[in-house]
Amino acid sequence: MTLRINSTAPDFKADTTQGPIEFHKWIGDGWAILFSHPKDFTPVCTTELGYMARLKPEFDKRNTKIVGLSVDPVTNHSKWAKDIEETQGAAVTYPMIGDPELKVATLYDMLPEGAGTTSEGRTAADNATVRSVFIIGPDKKIKAMLTYPMGSGRNFDEVLRLLDSIQLTARHQVATPVNWKNGEDVIIVPAVSDEQAKAKFPNGWRAIKPYLRIVPQPK
């Protein structure tokens, strides 16, 4: 299955470090971030999982659940979590999905169909493409996807910034400009006419070009 933005996030059942989940039911009526890893006990991923553990309160504020995935059994994840807490200074309090049969990795197009049905004997290099982040909305649609190479640690501050942008633009008819950060000015989307904009933004806007109208971020 080829996934794109606005595709329905595939539903699945899986074991996690916090018990079995049905993914769509687990998401509920909020947002979710699924981020994947090619193997347990890998150095870059250890730093990433620890950083996400420290960021979890920020995602909680945004009504967003986070869940990690690695193509190894849950029993391995529990051992790895101890290393993560020891080396990164943060306990992993979000669930980590076990995917030893590669079902979720294949379902989310992170591995080809011919990858087989077991993580046994596979190395991180074999699973190098299992390095993705999916932001999923309450409607269970994929809102954004990021994929990193195995040697480059992901920027989860950017994932948080992207989530802020997606949630804001879902509520208001605005877009966020380059390098935007929460609280900065935004752009009125072209689909909103000037007449409509007067009602939506009664304090006015700054028109750099007819198609480039800058307005303070809506509350």
Count Cβ atoms below 10 Å from residue 40 Cβ, excluding itself: 24
Tokens 């769509």, residue located:
24
Residue 61's pLDDT is: 98
Which are the contacts of 199, defined by CB distance < 8 A and separation ≥ 6?
none
Catalytic residues: 45
Q: Token digits for 142?
A: 């994929």
Do strands 96-98 and 212-215 pair parallel, antiparallel, or not at all (unpaired)? unpaired
Question: Mind listing the domains of the chain with CATH numbers?
Answer: 7-154 (3.40.30.10), 172-215 (3.30.1020.10)
Q: Give the pTM.
A: 0.95
Residue 78's pLDDT is: 93
Per-residue pLDDT of the chain (219 residues; tens, 9 = 90+): 689 999 999 999 999 999 999 999 999 999 999 999 999 999 999 999 999 999 999 999 999 999 999 999 999 999 999 999 999 999 999 999 999 999 999 999 999 888 889 899 999 999 999 999 999 999 999 999 999 999 999 999 999 999 999 999 999 999 999 999 999 999 999 999 999 999 999 999 999 999 999 999 998
Q: What gap in Å lies between CA 54 and CA 58, rounded to an integer?
A: 9
Q: What gap in Å lies between CA 138 and CA 32, rounded to an integer?
A: 8
